[in-house]
Every structure is written in C-alpha cells, then in structure tokens.
Amino acid sequence: MKQEVTLRQSLTLVQVVALGLAWMTPMIYFSVFGIAYDASKGMITEAYSLSVVAIFFTAYSYSVMAKVFPGSGSSYTYVKKSMHPIPGFTVGWAILLDYLFSPIIACLTFGIYLHAQFPAVPAFVWIILLNIVLAVVNIAGIQFSASLSKLFVLFQIIFIALFCAYLIKGFHGFEGVAQPFANLDVGLPTILAGASIICFSFLGFDTVSTLAEETIQPKKTIPRAIMLIILIASVLYVVTSYLIQISYPHLTFVNLDSAGFELMKMAGGATLGAIFTTVLIFAIFTQGLTSVTSVSRLLYVLGRDSILPKGFFGKLHPKYRTPVNNIVLVSIVSLLALVISLDMAVKFVSFGALTSFAFVNLSVIAECYIKRRQRSLKQTFQYLVFPLAGASFIVWLITLLDANALTLGCIWLAAGLAYYLFRTRKSRSFSASANLFDGAPAAIKSE
C-alpha cells in the first residue's frame, strides 16, 4: 500500500513566531508612518495603543479557535466547523483574496524599491527574480523558510532598536514637550481615525494558524505564538511611537508615503537612511516568503477537502512534503505585480483579512458559547464579550474601506459562492447517479 504523504510536523514556537512576524513585517511601521501620523494629527502613540487593545480581541479569538480546531485551514476551518460549510467556504474564499495578493504586494514593493536603488535594472526584472526565489525556497521546505524568516525578522528588530537608540541619544529632556496621552479625551475621534489605519500594521498574526499541521504540539504552540506575535509587535510599535512623539512633537513631511525615510534622515542622517532601505528590502523579502507559505497551505487544505480540485491542490511532493503545485501556481499569479497597482492590491488584502477576522470572532461565540454552552461568568467574557468587541471593531473598520474595495470584494465573494454552489451541486448529482447505478444490480437480482 502506498504511504500517504503528509506535511512535516517540525516547527517550534520560536520558528512559528518568526514566520508570523515575517508576514506581519515590523518594518511596515515606517511604511505607513506618514499616513498614520497625519490621520492621528500627531497623536501616534495614543493611536497605536488603542489599536493594540482593539486587535487583541481578534487575536484572542484566533488563539481560542486554534485550540479547539488545531488544523491548517485557519479561519476557513474555524468557521466551517463552528457554523456551517457555506460560511466556512465564504470566509476561506475571502482570506484567499488576502493571502493571494500579499505575495503580489511583496513583489511589487520589492521591484519599486530596488529599481529606485538601481535605476538601470527595470522593476520587472526584480519582480520575476523574487518570484523565482520565493518559489524555490518554499519548495525546499518549511524549515528553510523558518530559518530565513527568523534571521531577517531579527534584522528588523535590531534596526528598530537602533533607531530608538538614535532617538534617545538626541533627546534633550521632557520640558516643554507635549506628553502622549495628555489630551486623550479631547482628541478621541482623531485617535480613532489614526487607529483605523494603524490596525493594518498588525495584519499577519493570523497566518500562523495555517501552519498548525507543521507545528509541534499545535494546540499549545499556535495560541501562544499568536499572542506572542501581538505582544512583540505592540511593544515595538508603541515604544517607538512614544520616543518619536517626545523627540519630534511637531513633525511635517514633504511626502507622506516616504515619511519613514525622512524620519530616518532626521534621526541619523544619510547613514541611517541607507541602513533603513537595506533592512526594508530584507523585510519585504521575508514578507513575500511567508505569504507564499501561507497561501499554499490554505490552497492545500481547500484541495484536501475537495473544495478545490483535490488532484492538483491537495497534493504534496513525496520528497519535500510541500504543496509544490500550489507554490508554483501562486508564483504565476504573483506575476500580476507586473501590471496591477499597489493601491488595488492593498484593497484586496484589507477586504479579505477583515472579513476573515469578523467571522473568526463570531465563530468563538457559535462554538464555545452556543454549542458547548460554556457560560460561566468568566466564560461569558471569554467566549461572548471579547469576541463581540472584536467583531464590532472589525466591522467598523470594514465600513471605513472605500466603495471600490467593498465592490471588488463583494464581487470576489459572489464569484466564489457561485463556484461553491456549482461544485457541490455537481458532486451531489454525481453521488445520486452513483447510488442509482450501485442499486441497479440489487433490483435486477430481486426480480
């Protein structure tokens, strides 16, 4: 009998955290700094602090569901098993939008930055080269990806610490400085506006749930990893924001999109700016690497469940034990980076991620509070109040997306639902025909 090929269960807690942080990309803090600073009117520390509290509820819901259903399907598995296969597929289809376009964003930004550094080399050359490298590394196995991610995430954290050291070195005291949290009540609407943008800096913690079947003791490791990722990111973002706010209480930028680079030059001159660009390129690489890992695993689970054609999507390479077909397909799709705009790709990612977040919060209520009747005072907070708070905040963020993002997202969901209904109807028809055929000999015999 041919032995079934399964995913290799080898990831430790440190490796899972590294992969999650690599997808999240701590350096994204500087990529969105200008827009977030402008939206929050300089109240950047307050906005990040509020975002941490808000995103905690959704992270907590993911950690709960990772214990209940320790499979690799992430939100797709959680919603399917706690609610119903149809909303489960809808959420899986939505998060597929997020995961498919994340490598595209990585390739696109990689091409933009390296073309800016080396103008003689066209951006499309860097995009194609990155696609090839990401595919090869992912095919080689999860251990190699985890090792690279751990190294490059460490580079990012060291750089952020170096930047903070520059700020502390140049700081001249608190006298006359507007302290963070001093005007919290006065500026709450402004802080909320900033927080709505800043929450996107935390996207990615959920991707580690797709690695459950490759993780040692997933019921314990995945929930811990999710909360550690949020904790590490929160400390990095809030501390850095606080130091920036007290060092430069009145910042203005020539270009909000390049505010992070302008900030580097203020704090450390051209030297820090050059280091910043180098580390950012490494960060983009690791984000692309873990994006391909996540989406290939989600496609594998959808194929294994026969939602997508199992012969292609549900197949693992016998030697590498990785979903090679999915990795190659994702690399081909990522070539859309040659023609799509960054703005459009970001809209797709935001819609998919937020839709998934909202449903995972609701799945905690459906599974733990309703089905399992876990309703003590403590459990009511854990399985009703917390997930409701998370779902409410996420739904509010969805309403802040522009009309184009909502329209395109709804079209994607409608197309997915139509495909699901067609496929399941076809399967039911096939089963009915098979049953009829199987029953014919018995009927003939009885005559």
Q: What is the pLDDT of residues 14-67, one digit of tens each?
A: 999 998 998 888 998 887 888 888 888 888 888 898 888 888 999 999 999 999
The whole domain housing 380 covers: 13-401
We report the CATH number of the domain holding residue 324 as 1.20.1740.10
Residue 25 covered by a domain? yes
Lowest mean pLDDT among 73-87, 164-178, 306-320: 164-178
Residue 248 covered by a domain? yes
Residue 422 covered by a domain? no
Residue 215: beta bridge partners? 11
pLDDT tens digits, one per residue of 361-396? 999 999 999 999 999 999 999 999 999 999 998 888
Residue 244 covered by a domain? yes
Residue 443 covered by a domain? no
| Per-residue pLDDT at 426 | 66
For residues 170-182, one letter each, b for 16 or more C-beta atoms within 10 angstroms of the residue's C-beta and e for the rest, the string is eeeeeeeeeebee
CA atoms within 13 A of residue 425's CA, in its CB half-sphere: 6
Q: Rounded to two decimals, what is the model's pTM?
A: 0.81
Residue 321 covered by a domain? yes
Q: What is the mean pLDDT of residues 74-94?
A: 91
- Whole-number average pLDDT of the chain: 85
Q: What domain count does the chain have? A: 1
Let me know how many helices (H) and strands (E) the chain has, helices first: 17, 0
| Residues near 182 by beta carbon (within 8 Å), at least 6 away in sequence | none
pLDDT band at 186 (very low <50, low <70, confident <90, very high): low
Distance CA 109, CA 286 (A): 12
| Residues near 243 by beta carbon (within 8 Å), at least 6 away in sequence | 164, 167, 168, 171
Residue 417 covered by a domain? no
Residue 416 covered by a domain? no
Question: According to the per-residue pLDDT averaged within each range, which of 5-19, 101-115, 118-132 is highest?
Answer: 118-132
